[in-house]
Amino acid sequence: MRPAGGSHAAQEASERVSGPDQIRSSDMRMTPSLPPALRISGVEKRYGNLLALDGISFDVAPGEFFGLLGPNGAGKTTLISALAGLVIPDAGTIEILGHDVQADYRAARRALGVVPQELVFDPFFTVREVLVMQSGYYGIRDNGPWIDEILHNLDLESKANANTRALSGGMKRRVMVAQALVHRPPVIVLDEPTAGVDVELRHALWQFIRRLNRDGHTIVLTTHYLEEAESLCTRIAMLKQGRLVALERTADLLSRHAAHTLRLKLSGGSLPASLAARAQASSSGEYCLSLTNLDEVETVLHALHAAGLKVADMELGKPELEEVFVELMRAP
């Protein structure tokens, strides 16, 4: 499954990458001839007194798995709607694979597949009818084989001839994903695709999306499940009140803002003064230390040994995106 447009770039990207968890250093160095998957420049959108988007600018490289995070009302959906041409910005420009979403909307929309956040469906038609028509809107006829493949991958085959009205919420969500993919868009945007979706579907969906990403599709994702973003996205942008407050590789964001934590349970005394200053003690006699890097584990153990203390239990915690998120959202 290769995306229809920008496939050359996408293929290159996919060959560099063996899994979405890895960081792709080469993604950041873009070939000059190659337009970015997304280029957002100085985008502003105002609703009355509310500045929903306040000068947003960033690029997403072809083949990236990109996370767009932020609390409710931060502007994520407005930004996605602006990419899709559903919202017309008051200022700034947006390009999809080099095509301006306003001036060159036909090419831009052909390159983009969007799964909207709200669960919507057309009650007049069956799943297959919906997908055949959606293909037609993109100018594609005889799309049967690809529709079959999407139905198979989203486990919708048994529902192909069912009316969309008769489907469960999870199934309707899958149909929306299928609708976004009928034209093999090189850039796929998913606006909270797993909100209110059961674990099984979430799992299947991510497997499919990861595969599309490996095949070279650029993925932009918004989600409230930060562990999803952490495990899937190689780079993350965080929005807060319409402004961009972070734009970094996931790993950098984690190492810069969040710390490893070391939980200790001691026997034979309490924590020495040199360590007590940076530790939080809990009522159960456990201590929790923040570490700036993993080498510090050795220093801590050494200090404990020197004080004649024994470690009864120890647990090393990894930095979590949730901490970063909370920290950045709390900052004034």
**Candidates 57-65, 113-121, 221-229, 274-282 — which segment interacts with another protein by CB under 8 A?**
113-121
The count of residues interacting with another protein (CB under 8 A) is 34
Task: Give dist(CA 328, CA 332) in Å, integer.
Answer: 9
Does 121 sit near another protein (CB under 8 A)?
yes
Cα end-to-end distance, the chain, whole Å: 45
Instruction: Give the residue with the Cβ less far from another protein, 89 or 319.
Output: 89
Instruction: Give the residue with the Cβ less far from another protein, 127 or 291.
Output: 127
Backbone angles phi, psi at 183, to 5 degrees: -100, 20
**Candidates 104-112, 145-153, 262-270, 295-303 — which segment interacts with another protein by CB under 8 A?**
104-112
Question: Site mask, another protein, residues 67-86, x = CB under 8 A?
Answer: --------------x--xxx
Binder of another protein out of 118, 199, 273, 293 (CB under 8 A): 118
Measuring CA to CA, which residue among 211, 217, 169, 220 is closest to residue 192?
220
**Candidates 27-35, 108-116, 223-231, 320-328 — which segment interacts with another protein by CB under 8 A?**
108-116
**Candidates 20-28, 32-40, 175-183, 256-264 — which segment interacts with another protein by CB under 8 A?**
175-183
Task: Give dist(CA 162, CA 156) in Å, integer.
Answer: 10
Binder of another protein out of 50, 88, 103, 312 (CB under 8 A): 88
Question: Apex CA 108: angle with CA 106 and CA 113, to 5°?
Answer: 105
Given a contact cutoff of 8 angstroms between Cβ atoms, the answer to whether 220 and 76 are in contact is no
Does 109 sit near another protein (CB under 8 A)?
yes
Query: Considering the complex, what minimum distance in angstroms separates the CB of residue 312 from another protein?
Result: 57
Q: Which residues contact 332 (CB under 8 A, 6 or more apart)?
A: none
Query: Considering the complex, what minimum distance in angstroms separates the CB of residue 332 from another protein?
Result: 30
Contact positions with another protein (CB under 8 A) in 253-282: none
Measuring CA to CA, which residue among 134, 135, 137, 114 is closest to residue 186?
114
Question: Site mask, another protein, residues 122-161, x = CB under 8 A?
Answer: xxxx---x---xxxxxxxxx--------------------
Query: Considering the complex, what minimum distance in angstroms separates the CB of residue 116 from another protein?
Result: 5
Helix, coil or strand: residue 74 = coil
For the chain, how long is the longest CA-to-CA vector? 77
Query: Which of the 8 DSSP states describes residue 157?
Result: G
Instruction: Give the residue with the Cβ less far from another protein, 88 or 91.
Output: 88
Task: Give dist(CA 269, CA 224) in Å, integer.
Answer: 43
Instruction: Give the residue with the Cβ less far from another protein, 7 or 163.
Output: 163
Does 162 sit near another protein (CB under 8 A)?
no
Measuring CA to CA, which residue among 86, 116, 109 is closest to residue 176?
116
Binder of another protein out of 23, 30, 107, 160 (CB under 8 A): 107
**Candidates 66-74, 179-187, 276-284, 309-317 — which segment interacts with another protein by CB under 8 A?**
179-187
**Candidates 119-127, 220-228, 257-265, 295-303 — which segment interacts with another protein by CB under 8 A?**
119-127
Task: Give dist(CA 197, CA 201) in Å, integer.
Answer: 7
Task: Give dist(CA 131, CA 117) in Å, integer.
Answer: 19
**Side-chain half-sphere of 70: how many Cα atoms within 13 Å?**
24
Does 196 sit near another protein (CB under 8 A)?
no
What letter represents residue 266's amino acid?
L
Backbone angles phi, psi at 262, to 5 degrees: -120, 120
H/E stretch holding 41 reads strand 38-47
Binder of another protein out of 6, 35, 67, 116 (CB under 8 A): 116
Residues that bind another protein (CB under 8 A): 81, 84-88, 105-107, 109-110, 112, 114, 116, 118, 120-125, 129, 133-141, 179-180, 183
